[in-house]
Amino acid sequence: MTPLLSTRRDLLKAGAAAGALLSVPTILAKEAKGANDFINIALIGCGGRGSGALANALHADPKTRLVAIGDVFPEQIAQSLAGCKGHGDRTAVPAERQFIGLDAYQKILALPDVDMVILTTPPGFRPLHIEAAVEAGKHIFAEKPLAVDPAGWRRVKAATDKAAEKGLCFMTGFCYRWDMPKVEAMNQILGGKDNNPVAAYTREVLGVTAPAATLIGDVKAAFCHYDSGLNWVKDPQPSWSKAETQLRNWFYYTWLSGDDIVERGIHNVDKMCWAFNDEAPISVHAHGGRQVRTETKFGNVYDHFSCRYDFGNGRYAMLSSRQMANAAGDVSDRIIGTEGYFNLQDGRPTVMAHDGKQLWRYNNPNGGDMYNNEHNVLNAAIRAGKVISTSKQALNSTAAAVMGRISAYSGQNVTFAQFVEMKEDLFPKDFKIDMDLPFPEIAMPGRTKID
């Protein structure tokens, strides 16, 4: 057991702090894993990100092994297993531990030897799977976002609170938090403000030093972009039900992905919140629509968003997210302070004063891979018996992204205080893979109501 390093705060209050490294004195943490003990992993959701996260977990620690795997579609399981054959016996999962179907997660979580689960199904399933994994007493790596609607967000908040009480580690896939150029650059502008327990433990494991002073003064603005080309789409097959068609094209359905700003643009939202010391935005004013991807095969999502976030005290962030072919791309995050600025997304971030003087430049060739780094930190915590949780930061970023989506869909301003009380719950009732699932309504600003 480690001493109590931080208390859990109520995220329903604006300005909640970042994730915390927790240990609750009255609750025993899960038994620490010794250096020679295996950490048994199960993968739930075997798409590209799930297969990648599994590879990262195996790479991060030679004493990890895959003991169970599950997906709705059998070919996804075969693809994941084929992709990790290089790890030998550590990925030799017997057929009876390869689970297929919507209930695969339940069968995996019932296995007593599973220490940690990787949750990488489409995001609409995330609240259900996080709740079940916490109830089963498993450490969790959950991909972003944590939810696609306010109802799911509240479920995850309650579940992660319970995870801390049960002594469970909870890591989220906001991968840029573990990218050393960005970590060290953000340290330069946050200084001691970023000295929360998770950040401190990350520096201890990864060998990063935090400066005491900030280089650009007070952060006042952020300009964030995730503008790119078109994403994949799968043409419907005669054998697929309407539900299966939506599930196989999950990116294009709000109930599954949360739309582009929540599933993909959330990386920029997370960096934006990070720059404002992991505060939740007070409100958002957003625009968006479907201009290019108008065919039915593209579901009900938008193809562009523009959001203005208000963080209070004269601090604002602008976010654009666009997927259009033959249009200029831009993936960047410019952070501006009273004394200087820098672009966080640069390979070697350079902090500049407003008069053009270079204040700092990243110069560490040994930063490692960000996807491996996050699993290094997670596995180190499990082995040390420390309870690491990035839930607070991840919940704030998830809320901010969903707020932007709701504002764009409705054409109304949305506050954080409103968001935490909204009733919106997009997940279909009694979902089954063979059901005749109706095509969801396409939102229209000025007509779509905030629930």
Are 360 and 237 contained in the same domain? yes
Helix H or strand E segment including 387: strand 387-389
Predicted local distance difference test score (pLDDT) of residue 22: 42
Are 105 and 190 contained in the same domain? no
**What is the rounded CA–CA span in Å between residue 204 and residue 226?**
31
Question: Is 173 contained in some domain?
Answer: yes
Are 320 and 227 contained in the same domain? yes
Question: Is 223 contained in some domain?
Answer: yes
Helix H or strand E segment including 54: helix 48-60
Q: What are phi and psi of 222, to 5 degrees?
A: -140, 135
Are 201 and 159 contained in the same domain? no
Q: What domain count does the chain have?
A: 2
Beta strands per DSSP E along 304-377: 304-312, 315-323, 330-337, 340-343, 350-353, 358-361
Q: What are phi and psi of 375, to 5 degrees?
A: -80, -30
CATH code (residue 278): 3.30.360.10
**What is the rounded CA–CA span in Å between residue 13 and residue 423?**
18
Are 307 and 405 contained in the same domain? yes
Question: Is 52 contained in some domain?
Answer: yes
Q: Which of helix, strand or coil describes residue 180?
A: helix
CATH code (residue 378): 3.40.50.720
pLDDT in tens, the chain (451 residues): 332 222 223 322 322 323 344 433 333 456 777 777 899 999 999 999 999 999 999 998 999 999 999 999 999 999 999 988 888 899 999 999 999 999 999 999 999 999 999 999 999 999 999 999 999 999 999 999 999 999 999 999 999 999 999 999 999 999 999 998 898 888 888 875 654 566 667 777 777 766 656 899 999 999 999 999 998 999 999 999 999 999 999 999 999 999 999 999 999 999 999 999 899 999 999 999 999 999 999 999 999 999 999 999 999 999 999 999 999 999 999 999 999 999 999 989 999 999 999 999 998 877 889 999 999 999 999 998 989 999 999 999 999 999 999 999 999 999 999 999 999 999 999 999 999 999 999 999 999 999 8
Question: Is 9 contained in some domain?
Answer: no
Are 384 and 294 contained in the same domain? no
Are 199 and 283 contained in the same domain? yes
Q: How far is CA 245 from CA 48, 177, 251, 252, 449, in A?
A: 18, 34, 11, 11, 27
Question: Is 157 contained in some domain?
Answer: yes
Are 138 and 194 contained in the same domain? no
Question: Is 310 contained in some domain?
Answer: yes
Question: Is 192 contained in some domain?
Answer: yes
Are 359 and 240 contained in the same domain? yes
Are 154 and 290 contained in the same domain? no
Greatest Cα-to-Cα distance within the chain, rounded to the nearest angstrom: 65
Question: Is 11 contained in some domain?
Answer: no
* Crossing angle of helices 391-410 and 150-165, rounded to 10°: 170
Token pair, residue 162, equals 């319970």
Domain residue limits at 104: 20-177+372-393
pTM above 0.95?
no
